[in-house]
Amino acid sequence: MQQSNAAATALYDHAGVGSLHNAGPTGGDAGDAVMARWLQSAGLQHLASPLASTGIDQRLLPNLLMQGYGAQSTEEKQRLFKLMRDLNINGETGLEPYTQTAQNSGGPAASDGFYSPGFRGDFGAGLLDLHAMDDTELLSEHVTSEPFEPSPFIPGVNKAFENDFNATTNWQQKEQSDADASASLFSANEKEISSSRESNVAKIKVVVRKRPLNKKEISRKEDDIVIVSENALTVHEPKLKVDLTAYVEKHEFCFDAVLDEHVNNDQVYRATVEPIIPIIFQRTKVTCFAYGQTGSGKTFTMQPLPLRAAQDLVRFLHQPIYRNQRFKLWLSYFEIYGGKLFDLLSDRKKLCMREDGRQQVCIVGLQEFEVSDVQVVKEYIERGNSARSTGSTGANEESSRSHAILQLVVKRHPEIKESKQNNDVNESKAGKVVGKISFIDLAGSERGADTTDNDRQTRIEGAEINKSLLALKECIRALDNDQIHIPFRGSKLTEVLRDSFVGNSRTVMISCISPNAGSCEHTLNTLRYADRVKSLSRSGNPKKDQTVNSLPPCNRDVSSLSLLATADVEDVYGQQPEVKVVDTGRRPLEKDVYTVDFDKQPSTSNGREESGMAYGPTDREKIESK
């Protein structure tokens, strides 16, 4: 309390009136004028005048303000709080030294400002305290737990929570305090905080998920050859010597996280997408995709994620900061099949991709739906899923033959009066994209090499799939190396995701693997692809290169792969509390020397890009630019 008083008092001093105790009538006037201007800067001038008219000693104003005097609404209190805080920050940065007064002398140093524990502890009721408790303390009370476990990263929202000014969490208070930033979304200080939060989320995160043996595999008495331990796993490859004696070759890998067969979908969400949700509101484009052979669990893994993410995004949107700024969530769902795009929420309407004048890719005719309720999101997802192209493979009766892309986009909408001027533009288009997350359920990675279904259709599917997987990897590589040129034209998939590869973006790859011995080769291919993606961040960064030598010998690269020679010491995912990950300074180890070319995807030679494979009606396409 002393500190906050000191800060407000400093305002008077700054006006050249000396300490409050010395303020005479003239000095008081000058101080009052500054105080009035100060309040006016946040639209709170009315808080000064009632005081003046009641004849209350203006010197008491800082105290009264600190008690929330006159502020009627939550919003006003927030603004007032922000003003006080800014004052402290300025004081803290030494913009304007202030004289010690009787009130503040003996208290904590001025430089401790708002952030000193003493100050926090004394902070009066009715005003926000950004630092009273850590993020997790209040969150758990307010998060709706059905049907998922509460998320420590995401604020809970319910009516009481929204209305209870004092019960807002630190995190929410920070967000709330952004509300009156008119010119930009975030004040300088908050930008700092948000950028540090952003930088805490690795650009590429690679997670492996192992599914359990299925009934067929159990009935065939197949062995589980994948052993998971922490963030590493070992594949025990059964082999035969020339003299036909059996032996096992071990392959060890290490990733950001490895999730075993006992991990449920909610835990997958927590380890992958959840930490990224907050930065979507900070103009980040996120891509999350699952990769792996058919039947390895990609769809099983990916399908719950958008719903879970939508639930958290909706929670954020209910925060006053975002609600006041007219942030809305939009959902679209389409698939890429045989190089063509189909809207899964619009009777498989064929879509086409256009580049506008600003080289922004837009999918012409793609329906976007505003979603503010998780139940509605669920219905859209179910509708889209039932419209997907699936077929049967040896390993999966309902195999995805396409890449399905579900996008959740946060947009900021203009005020009603502004948007009325653009009556002809539909609401979704009127909004400005703030951030988005794309969930991609890729078709099985080995379909190009699928010889059991080797008909023409399958070959075409396989060719496109292979092409896009290769292109995806190239884009991730370029992205991670901060290359200016991103080879997004390599496939329809990467073209569609173009805006996810430029600017501020994050990628989460979930590699799904089957545990049975019969899938060993595919499992190793999947892990090598994942390893390759992860290792991309180890190449081309001299800072990372230097650190490898300081790693303990057991963590050093011992394989013959020069590209995997450096350690990813900058991946700080390991700091997230809920995520089962460890320092990725340990590079993946695959002890054996491979003969496999890691870059090589299953053959694409049998595929030509075919046209005229449109599914569903070829509706007249409304050509319009976003």
* Interacting residue ranges for ligand ATP, rule: CB under 6 A: 211-212, 214, 292, 294-300, 393, 396, 398-400, 443-444, 512
Q: How far apart are CA 432 and CA 326, in angstroms?
A: 11
**Token pair of 494 as six digits:** 């990467």
C-alpha closest to that of 36 among 27, 28, 45? 45
Least separation in angstroms between residue 213's CB and ligand ATP is 10
| Whether the Cβ atoms of residue 286 and residue 505 lie closer than 8 Å to each other | yes
As measured in angstroms, the least distance from the Cβ of 480 to ligand ATP is 25
The strand pair at 399-400 and 403-412 is best described as unpaired
Which C-beta is closer to ligand ATP: that of 216 or that of 250? 216
Q: Which residues are annotated as a binding site?
A: 292-299
- Please identify, using beta-carbon distances, which residue of 113 and 515 lies nearer to ligand ATP: 515
- C-beta nearest to ligand ATP: residue: 297
Considering the complex, state which of residue 68 and residue 295 has its C-beta at the smaller distance from ligand ATP.
295
Cβ closer to ligand ATP: 211 or 477?
211
In whole angstroms, give the CA distance from residue 100 to residue 332.
Answer: 59
3-state helix, strand, coil in the chain (%, to 5): 40, 15, 40
Task: State the minimum distance, in angstroms, from the CB of residue 395 to ligand ATP.
Answer: 7
- Smallest distance from ligand ATP to CB 407, Å: 19
Spatial separation of the C-alpha atoms in residues 390 and 399, rounded to whole Å: 5
The structure tokens listed for 362 are 């837009």
Q: Does residue 367 come out as left (phi exceeding 0), alpha (psi in the -120 to 50 range) or beta? A: beta
Measured from the CB of residue 250, what is the shortest distance to ligand ATP in angstroms?
Answer: 23
Contact 344, 336 (CB under 8 A): no
**CA atoms of 512 and 443, how far apart (whole Å):** 12
Euclidean distance between CA atoms 176 and 164, whole angstroms: 13
Positive or negative CA dihedral for 183, 185, 191, 195? negative
- DSSP for residue 226: E
Return phi, psi of residue 74, to 5°: -60, -40
Give the H or E element holding residue 408.
strand 403-412
In the bound complex, what is the minimum distance in angstroms from residue 229's beta carbon to ligand ATP? 18
Q: Are 206 and 509 in contact (CB under 8 A)?
A: yes
* Binding-site residue ranges for ATP: 292-299
- Residue (175 or 335) nearer to ligand ATP, CB: 335
Shortest CB 292 distance to ligand ATP, Å: 5
Q: Which is nearer to ligand ATP, 211 or 285 (CB)?
A: 211
Helix or strand holding residue 287 (H, E):
strand 285-292
Least distance (Å) from ligand ATP to the CB of residue 514?
8
Nearer Cβ to ligand ATP (320/518): 518
Nearer to ligand ATP, 446 or 480 (CB): 446
